[in-house]
Amino acid sequence: MEVAEPITLYQHMESRGVETDLRNLIYSFASIALDAQHHFPKYLRGTLGDKNKYGEAVAKLDEWVNGYLCDNLVKTGLVRKIYSEELREPLLATANPKAPFVVTLDPLDGSSNIITNNAFGSIVGVYKEDLPKKGKELVAAFYKLYGPVNTLVYSTGDGTHEFVKHYDSEGNARFYLLGENLKIPEPGEVFGIGGDPTEWDAKFLKFAKDLFRVERLKVRYCGTFVADFSQILHRGGIFAYPPTKKSPNGKLRLTYEAAPMAFIWEQAGGASWSGKESLLDVSALDVDARTPVYLGNKGLIERLKLALA
Ligand code: F6P
Ligand code: MN
């Protein structure tokens, strides 16, 4: 029996009618991220790789990845401004002032997992207009998960689709379709919650205990948002990073993390919640603002709302 040719990321976007500039941006990001990954080993401890001209140890991986992704995103000519979690000020692509997109970037999500060799990722949000904008104004969001296999998940508002890195017959790395129009499984199976439980609100603590006592969900938490998200995307359930006494807005950042991932999540049939509204409806003038994050199967988010009321 002949095996059908696997569908590449580019072919998939063409077949879904993703507009040319956006398609080229997503495809370019996928290639840039693959390339970046080849350099990771040099930057793991700052001791294995080169020293700079002053004889200092090389930059940490997250700083290096940020520079690499930003430089190469600018080179696509498709981006006029980048808001990055690693930059104090947004980067203006002065060579492309009329480029169609403004992007947000969490270049290395889950950096505490670098040293332990566990999964981490990169998250990108794409807007046509400059920020501040609500997440519902995103025209696309995607993430790359650097795990035992490398996956890329994207949405342009027309479902959520997942690809895996593999090699073509000539040895070139490509992203091939793993699943299109992903739907969060019902009932959910797993949950992951960040932050110090002794600092959670009492109502939330009860809700969390009920996740295993009543809902019978299993714990899955690795401390990388992208990887914990991938757990619930494939197995259903709930991920939360709630407020604590010390951090009343939780830990995750609205612009770089919560909004793009909520966009992908809601496109897969899930519900998002900030404690007040969908994460796609939250306004923030400050691009560095944090927000409580709750992403779950619709029924679980409804139960959460009742529990917190
Ligand atoms: O980007 C912040 C982050 O690394 C997320 O990837 C992750 O969900 C969270 O922090 C983990 O935080 P903690 O170490 O408090 O569990
Ligand atoms: Mn992050």
Decide: 163 in ligand 1 pocket, CB within 6 A: no
Question: Cα–Cα distances in Å, from 1 out to 4, 261?
Answer: 9, 39
Per-residue pLDDT averaged across 177-193, rounded?
Answer: 98
Decide if 185 is inside a domain: no
Task: Give percent above pLDDT 90 in the chain.
Answer: 85
**Look-up of token digits 């494939």:** 234
Expressed in angstroms and rounded, the spacing between residue 165 Cα and the centre of ligand 1 is 25
Decide if 184 is inside a domain: no
Structural domains of the chain, count: 2
Range of the domain at 141: 9-179
Which of 279-282's residues contact partners 24+ apart within 8 Å by CB, and which partners?
279/135, 279/254, 280/134, 280/135, 280/136, 280/138, 281/134, 281/135, 281/136, 282/134, 282/135, 282/254, 282/258
Among candidate residues 159, 179, 199, the one where a domain is terminated: 179
Same-domain pairing of 81 and 210: no
Q: What residues pack around ion ligand 2 (CB closer than 5 A)?
A: 106, 109
Cis peptide, bond prior to residue 97, ω within 30 of zero: no
Same-domain pairing of 232 and 166: no
Same-domain pairing of 139 and 205: no
Decide: 109 in ligand 1 pocket, CB within 6 A: yes
Among candidate residues 134, 150, 179, the one where a domain is terminated: 179
Among candidate residues 179, 207, 240, the one where a domain is terminated: 179
Expressed in angstroms and rounded, the spacing between residue 108 Cα and the centre of ligand 1 is 11
Atom 15 (ligand 1) nearest CA: 195
Q: What are the strands of the beta sheet with 150-155, ordered from one edge?
A: 91-92, 79-84, 101-109, 120-127, 140-146, 150-155, 161-167, 173-179
Expressed in angstroms and rounded, the spacing between residue 259 Cα and the centre of ligand 2 is 12
Same-domain pairing of 93 and 13: yes
Half-sphere exposure of 226 (CA within 13 A, CB side): 30
Over the stretch 22-60, which tens digit does the pLDDT of each residue have? 999 999 999 999 999 889 988 887 545 555 445 554 448
Same-domain pairing of 152 and 239: no
Same-domain pairing of 147 and 205: no
Over the stretch 254-281, which tens digit does the pLDDT of each residue have? 999 999 999 999 999 999 999 999 999 9
Same-domain pairing of 204 and 87: no
Half-sphere exposure of 158 (CA within 13 A, CB side): 9
- CATH number, domain with residue 41: 3.30.540.10
